[in-house]
């Protein structure tokens, strides 16, 4: 087992809707939506950070000449490492400590079929809108390893739980659990950037220790590091990274 430390540059994003008022206060649904976005966005070390890393590892299986720092991955061998992810820019900072476990599954002829990676992590992030201390567990499967495919396709299940404090207006102290199911998240093999995909998300939590709420929706990935969270009630929250 070895430790990898990465420093990632972050950009700012804002989750908002038309109901944000002039004072910058937000309602409970908007706070829940922002918590969901932060649980996913790479700008806060969210779940897409983990799928990005799984795809990077999967890409080394196809082309060992890419001169990455990744070790050779053999069929059917279990691998593990501890990772520290940290970044800061524009008033947003995050720190993630994670354990990764991965394996390459191959045919009886040694042809790669599926790359799988599980993770557990603890994370803290701070922005000018929200702070959080949370934990995540997840499973990631990467297909499209065949040489004739131009894309990797990722499917993933993630559970994120912890405490968030919204710092806008009167603010909220949230205790939340967010379930994320990522479906057919497609990465271009040449750029390792997301082209398309979707995720079903659900939020359950308490606000200021009293109000217990459940929210749900879908995230659509639009390419070019853009996505939109569509809540079940029709409100939409675009975000980028």
pLDDT > 90? residue 180: yes
* Closest CA relative to residue 160, chosen from 142, 174, 146: 174
In a domain, 228, yes or no: yes
Inter-residue contact 113 to 90 (CB < 8 Å) = no
pLDDT at residue 230, rounded to an integer: 98
What is the helix (H) or strand (E) element at residue 112, kind and residue range? strand 112-126
| Mean model confidence pLDDT for the chain | 88
Inter-residue contact 236 to 230 (CB < 8 Å) = yes
Q: Could you report the per-residue pLDDT of 51-64, keeping only the tens digit for each?
A: 999 999 999 886 54
In a domain, 12, yes or no: no
In a domain, 13, yes or no: no
In a domain, 49, yes or no: yes
Q: Give the total number of structural domains in the chain.
A: 1
pLDDT at residue 223, rounded to an integer: 98
Q: Could you report the per-residue pLDDT of 101-131, keeping only the tens digit for each?
A: 999 999 999 899 999 999 999 999 999 999 9
Global confidence as pTM: 0.87
Inter-residue contact 135 to 158 (CB < 8 Å) = no
In a domain, 115, yes or no: yes
> 41 is in which domain, residue-wise?
3-7+25-240
Q: In this prediction, what percent of the chain has a pLDDT beyond 70?
A: 86
Q: Could you report the per-residue pLDDT of 6-49, keeping only the tens digit for each?
A: 333 333 334 444 344 435 789 999 999 999 999 999 999 999 99
pLDDT at residue 63, rounded to an integer: 58
What is the helix (H) or strand (E) element at residue 176, kind and residue range? strand 172-188
As separate numbers, helices (DSSP H) first and strands (DSSP E) second, the chain gives: 2, 11
- Give the tokens for residue 221: 């990935």
In a domain, 15, yes or no: no
């Amino acid at each position: 087992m070895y430790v990898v430390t990465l420093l990632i540059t972050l950009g700012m994003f804002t989750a908002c809707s038309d109901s944000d008022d002039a004072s910058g206060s937000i309602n409970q649904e908007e706070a829940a939506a922002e918590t969901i976005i932060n649980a996913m966005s790479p700008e806060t070390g969210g779940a897409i950070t983990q799928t990005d890393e799984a795809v990077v590892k999967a890409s080394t299986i196809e082309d060992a000449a890419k001169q990455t720092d990744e070790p050779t991955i053999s069929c059917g061998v279990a691998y593990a490492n501890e990772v520290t992810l940290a970044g800061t820019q524009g008033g947003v900072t995050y720190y993630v400590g994670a354990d990764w476990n991965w394996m390459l599954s191959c045919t009886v002829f040694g042809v790669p079929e599926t790359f799988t990676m599980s993770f557990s992590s603890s994370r803290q992030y701070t922005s000018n809108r929200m702070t959080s201390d949370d934990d995540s567990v997840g499973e990631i499967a990467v297909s499209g390893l065949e040489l004739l495919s131009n894309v990797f396709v990722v499917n993933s299940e993630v559970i994120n739980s912890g405490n968030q404090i919204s710092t806008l207006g009167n603010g909220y102290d949230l205790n939340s659990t967010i379930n994320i199911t990522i479906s057919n998240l497609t990465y271009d093999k040449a750029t390792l950037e997301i082209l398309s995909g979707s995720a079903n998300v659900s939020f359950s939590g308490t606000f200021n220790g009293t109000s217990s709420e459940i929210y749900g929706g879908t995230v659509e990935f639009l390419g070019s590091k853009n996505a939109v969270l569509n809540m079940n009630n029709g409100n939409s929250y675009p975000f980028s990274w």
